[in-house]
Structure 1
């Protein structure tokens, strides 16, 4: 198995789950989106913005940038779901570009994560796994919050597979993807 393929698949699944969750959130009123809820962060808006700013922080580092703590300057940079969906899609595309450019040696590359007064050095593969776990963790919280609204939360725990269902095919088309892009050469 190609060393990079699991990371590529996780990056695509990450973007797909963000797309599904934020598309569902478009059905919320602004008041529902910002309403106080039980969770680590006090609202869907705060939780989903947290995912976005952490993505900016780590993806910038993976790209060789020095954004560091400046990523946290505005804890809720997107006031609306529409703005958040657009911003999240943009950082998800950046993450996909990072992962799609990797080879086995790139997974072992040391990434400098600027933390203000220090620089953390971490291998790319470990940093990617950390970021994916962070996303899953907070998307789960947002999913639970969404279940307390007028909008049904979307299915997020399915991983796409060869021969995906029509809904996934439509979403992949919306995202400009194909199974071949995610999985590379397919054995059919």
Structure 2
């Protein structure tokens, strides 16, 4: 596995796919009505929160790939998967794209500047690693909200914080293999 910043980006992308797998797998036990039920958080439901995560991921990953059409998609409606089972495949596909992007990075490419296009303004460039760090923080932030909302349902929220430590490898091994990822 890569070390330094490239290794960190890969580790965070692997954690992201694993955490989304765990959270969405737990949410699959909810009915579509429970998934969409009003809850207290930044977004009003698990459905809205988890669809928002996917929309932001798609936008940022397209921007990181320097897709010239990314600004047009800024105004696309947020995906609206009605249940976790239908959202799962789209989120994991997005996560795989992010992981593949991170696996191709070098210290030099992570230091490159990139502007994230916004309507009616062009913000100053940020480094690719800063954009990735922001994206990982965004995902963690909203997954935490979804995790708290899930705690208010009949479904037990999964542990999402046992990814990086060597002594916890056995807690993630089978899931990583099921995702086609080598255990770390």
Task: State if a TM-score over 0.5 links the two structures.
Answer: yes
Shift of 1:89: 0.4
Q: Tell me the CA shift for residue 112 of structure 1.
A: 2.9
CA RMSD of aligned residues (A): 1.6
TM-score (norm 2): 0.91
How many corresponding residue pairs? 180
1:96 counterpart residue number: 99
1:73 equivalent in structure 2: 76
In 2, are the aligned partners of 1:146 and 1:153 still within 8 Å (CA)? yes
1:112 corresponds to which residue?
115
Give the SS at the match of 2:81. Answer: coil
The CA distance in 1 between the partners of 2:89 and 2:74, in whole Å, is 17
| CA–CA separation in structure 2 for the residues paired with 1:32 and 1:68 | 34
SS at 2:114 equivalent: strand
**SS of 1:57 mapped into structure 2:** helix
Give the match for residue 173 of structure 2. 169
Deviation above 4 Å: which 4+ runs of structure 1? none
Tell me the TM-score normalized by structure 1: 0.89
| Distance change (3 Å), C-alpha of 1:71 and 1:175 | farther
1:17 corresponds to which of 16, 19, 44: 19
Q: Structure 2: give runs of 5+ residues left out of the alignment.
A: none
